[in-house]
Amino acid sequence: MVSYRKRGHVWQYEISYKDQFGKYKKLRKSGFEHKSEAILAASQIQIEYPNLSSAKSSEEPLVSYYKRWINVFKKNVVSKITFNKYQNTAQHIYEIFGDLKLKDLTKLRYQEGINQFAKTHAKRTVSCFHKQIRACLLEALDEKIIMADPTRKAVITGIERPKINKVLSYKNWSILIKNLNTNKIDEMIIFIAAVTGMRYGEVVGLTTKDFDFKSGYISVNKTWDYKYKTGFMKTKTKSSIRKIAIDEQTVFKLKEYLKLHEFKNNQPIFMNKKDHILVSAEINKSLTNKLESLNIPRITFHGLRHTHASILLYKGVSVLSVSRRLGHSNITTTQSTYLHIIRELQSQDQDKIISILDNAIK
């Protein structure tokens, strides 16, 4: 039911409807100079929103709808870390769009927001930001809260990060591990990663119980949430649970490190006296400074894992053994990650095969 009345010098329409719970609601809008304009606007609303509760919902701010959406569809489905990422997106939405209502989010306004976000973020991050918002708005589209998808054909850009080497050469890797002060927390973290290929979360999740110095191995059975500080977590995959063999020098350095630092029961050995564990940005900064001091090209901390695997492959260690050492779920993951190295080694193997055959035939 629609009614019209004049309020001062302008006209207002009022539409009565039942919400999803059967309760009567009213949708009002005023400010029309002529009654005919109010009638036209009311008709348009009824055409666009056959379910008038959706029209009311379109008044909700984007950030509010997004928060409700992640709490309903994501909170009990994804991991805590992934849900934190969705919450971070909510914060960015508010910073960019403020309290902008769903009905006022046009394609132009959305693209302006994406462009603003892209000024300070890499293209991959912008793409993730866009995908999360789009998934939410497609839900609003299905519910007919909005009549069109403002994210459709959005152009994704981002700042270009300077290119960084992925791996160190064997020579530079050797120089690095020989010049690390393994009594210091940050440099011991770098050392462990360089000689084991462990992931950062696995390294900083180590406790004194994870070392078997007599047999010479490190046990990887958990990780540490250094980003969101939720404590110990499960490993990335079941195959990430493994034992990594270490050499005598690594055993010696670890023993010396443990003697110099005091730990509480089941406390990570790389947690400082203020109960802080370095986040990825901090350890990457430490690694960069160390590499610069040694005049070695920069790599990321994760590059130490790639370096370790690459060196083992070049030195003739089988792909299967490298795969198990890295904790990959299957050998295919290792083969695809290090395909370029494997192809080089296969080329060398072909030369060896020909040489063997030549010698045999002579």
- Report pLDDT for 55: 47
The pLDDT tens digits of the residues spanning 285-303 come to 999 999 999 999 999 999 9
Compute the mean pLDDT over every residue in the chain, rounded to the nearest whole number: 89
**Which one is predicted more confidently, 319 or 27?**
319
Four-residue CA torsion sign, 62, 63, 67, 73: positive
More confident residue, 19 or 249: 249
To which CATH superfamily is domain 62-142 assigned?
Answer: Tyrosine recombinase, N-terminal domain (1.10.150.130)
Q: Which two tokens stand for residue 48?
A: 């666009």
CATH 1.20.1560.10 is held by the domain 170-344: no
pLDDT digits (tens, 9 = 90+) for 119-169: 999 999 999 999 999 999 999 888 888 888 999 999 999 998 777 778 999
The pLDDT assigned to 197 comes to: 96
Are 103 and 58 in contact, with CB atoms under 8 Å apart? yes
188-199 mean pLDDT: 97
Tokens standing for 4?
């019209």
Is residue 130 packed enough to be buried (19+ CB in 10 Å), middle (13-18) or exposed (0-12)?
buried
What is the end-to-end Cα distance of the chain in Å, rounded? 101
Q: DSSP E strands: which ranges in the chain?
A: 2-7, 10-18, 24-32, 211-212, 217-220, 223-225, 231-233, 242-245
Tokens of 355: 């040489």
Could you give the residue range(s) of every CATH 1.10.150.130 domain in the chain? Answer: 62-142
Binned at pLDDT 50, 70 and 90, residue 48 comes out as: low
* pLDDT-derived band at 80, boundaries 50, 70, 90: confident
Ranges for all domains in the chain classified under CATH 1.10.443.10: 170-344
- Alpha-carbon gap, residue 138 to 51, rounded angstroms: 17
In three-state secondary structure terms, 175 is helix
